Amino acid sequence: MSTFQVELPPKLIPVFIGEAMYRGAWGGRGSAKSRSFAKMAAVKGIMYAEANEPGVIVCGREFQNSLEESSLAEVKAAIESEDWLRDRYEVGDKYIRTKDKRIEFAFIGLRHNLDSIKSKSRIRLLYVDEAEPVSEIAWTKVIPTVREEGAEIWLTWNRERKNSATNKRFIVDPPKDAKIVELNWRDNPWFPSILNKTRLEDLEKRPEQYQHVWEGDYISAQSGAYFAKHLNDARNEGRVSRLNSDPLMTIRAFFDIGGTGARADAVAIWISQFIGKEIRHLDYYEAIGQPLATHVNWLRDNGYGKASVYLPHDGVKHDSVYNVTYESELKRAGFQVTVIENQGAGAATQRIEAVRRAFPFMWFDSVKCEYGLDALGWYHEKKDDTRNIGLGPEHDWSSHCADACGLEAIVYEKETRERVKKHRGQSRYEVLDQAMGY
């Protein structure tokens, strides 16, 4: 077999030495991980061809509607960067294959084309770039398709959420036969000066994005998120820390209601206390598809059995499976329950603005509210990129948490106004501004 020299970031060299079923790298922009793995995929193609092991190298991404959205350009550039690779490949507008035709590259989107992977005979290598959004369903289906003796799965990504399927599989609890490393800009010996200028500008002007974009950290506040700046301010001001409850003050539980069954929306609960002007978030809970008894047991098991419960207006509606209402059953379980009336047209926007106004007074337990903070940092507007207009809040995994926090903010403002009604000659909004220190 031929011998050639390949330049890689030093941190990646151990990843490609020795046997492994999984090889990967995660981290921020400018690390050269995608180019390095694309180059090594081309190298593996030559190795398979020279060993007379014909087959397919599949390059996949979760979302790919066309070749322009695939890794095709990256693999082409990697091949062009090495003379000896260029001499051994045929590269066209829509294809890449070794000149002996033994190895060809295939580029697919995992979200809508999983079944097409099964039709690919002899998959020698599956390389998934931008692997963060790959779902658990996709991983479960695609991994068994790589079944040739000695076949491997590679992946590169910039992590976003602790609970993503990719993060759980390959960082939290990685396979035993995996070689996966963190790779960031400082690990790239060829990191260009022009990109470093962009990095420094992001550090100065977009600090809430910097750690994720450049240092490979989880997203704590998504760009364009409704509460990105507010959450960043809370962290910088020390309002995200360990908190203790005040035994003399009421514990409150603010719900966003889901339902039972596998396809139901999540139930979200913020546990908090109003102390002076402050809203102290002591805990956060979320569950999908569980009966109400599960949520009640969580409240009791964690010392919130005497909490005052606040429900959105649909708390008086019947559960589609058990034909009971949240209001009636929580009262039957011994809780004091208040149902907050519907805010009417534009309710979602009202909740968002209420949270923004109240955020300067919000404190969060850094451990017990970790998942809730992730959701608040992610909650964002849905965009129509074609018309460049906003379409209101995106209904995704983060919206239930945000809706429960919005309910809390509505109650907080209502109680603040009522507390200062004794001030005469002022509108209710002037009273609120005065009470909240504006």
Q: What is the DSSP letter of 307?
A: P
- Determine which helix (DSSP H) or strand (DSSP E) holds 91, and give its type and residue range: strand 89-91
**CATH T-level topology, domain 10-187:** Rossmann fold (3.40.50)
For 376, the 3-state DSSP assignment is helix
Give the mean pLDDT of 59-64: 81
Helices in 81-129 by DSSP H: which ranges? Answer: 83-86, 110-118
pLDDT attached to residue 108: 85
Q: Is the pLDDT of residue 145 over 90?
A: no
Amino acid 158 reads N
Q: How far apart are the C-alpha atoms of 408 and 15, rounded to whole Å?
A: 48
CA dihedral (358, 360, 366, 369) in degrees, to 10, reads 10
pLDDT attached to residue 423: 61
**CATH T-level topology, domain 240-435:** Nucleotidyltransferase; domain 5 (3.30.420)
pLDDT attached to residue 223: 61
For residues 69 and 349, the model is more confident at 349
pLDDT attached to residue 260: 55
* Banded pLDDT at 294 (limits 50, 70, 90): very high
Q: How far apart are the C-alpha atoms of 35 and 29, rounded to whole Å?
A: 12
Q: Is the pLDDT of residue 257 over 70?
A: yes
Q: Is the pLDDT of residue 434 over 70?
A: no
pLDDT attached to residue 420: 73
* Banded pLDDT at 15 (limits 50, 70, 90): very high
* Banded pLDDT at 1 (limits 50, 70, 90): low
For residues 388 and 271, the model is more confident at 271
Among the residue ranges 1-5, 114-118, 175-179, the one predicted with the least confidence is 114-118
Most confident of 205-219, 222-236, 322-336, 403-417: 403-417
pLDDT attached to residue 219: 79
**CA end-to-end distance (rounded Å), the chain:** 74
Residues 182-224 have pLDDT tens digits of 999 999 999 999 999 999 999 888 877 888 999 998 876 666 6
Query: Under a CB-based contact definition with an 8 Å cutoff, are residues 9 and 36 in contact?
Result: yes
What residue spans in the chain does CATH classification 3.40.50.300 cover?
A: 10-187
| Burial annotation 128-140 (CB, 10 A radius, 16+ → b, else e) | bbbbbbbeeebbe
What residue spans in the chain does CATH classification 3.30.420.280 cover?
A: 240-435
Percent of the chain with pLDDT over 90: 58
- 386, two tokens: 């074609």
Query: Under a CB-based contact definition with an 8 Å cutoff, are residues 256 and 375 in contact?
Result: no
- 117, two tokens: 């992977």
Q: Which is it for strands 96-98 and 308-311: parallel, antiparallel or unpaired? A: unpaired
Give the mean pLDDT of 59-75: 79
Give the mean pLDDT of 353-358: 96
* Banded pLDDT at 248 (limits 50, 70, 90): very high
Q: How far apart are the C-alpha atoms of 49 and 19, rounded to whole Å?
A: 19
Q: How far apart are the C-alpha atoms of 438 and 425, rounded to whole Å?
A: 18
- Contacts of residue 423, defined as CB under 8 A and 6 or more positions apart, other chains included, come to 431, 434
Task: Write out the DSSP string of 181-242.
Answer: EE--GGG-TT--HHHHHHHHHHHHH-HHHHHHHHH-PPPSS-TTBTTHHHHHHHHHTT-EE-
Percent of the chain with pLDDT over 70: 86
Helices (H) and strands (E) in the chain, counts: 15, 17
Q: What is the DSSP letter of 425?
A: S
pLDDT attached to residue 262: 46
Angle made by CA atoms 180, 185, 189, in degrees to the nearest 5: 95
Among the residue ranges 120-134, 168-182, 206-220, the one predicted with the least confidence is 206-220
Among the residue ranges 6-15, 84-93, 133-142, 384-393, the one predicted with the least confidence is 384-393
Cα 104 to the center of its chain, rounded Å: 33
pLDDT attached to residue 103: 93
Q: Is the pLDDT of residue 367 over 90?
A: yes
pLDDT attached to residue 321: 44
Angle between helices 370-378 and 399-419 (to 10 degrees): 100
| Burial annotation 328-359 (CB, 10 A radius, 16+ → b, else e) | ebbeebebebebbeebeeeeeeebbebbebbb
Among the residue ranges 18-22, 219-223, 253-257, 421-425, the one predicted with the least confidence is 421-425
For 85, the 3-state DSSP assignment is helix
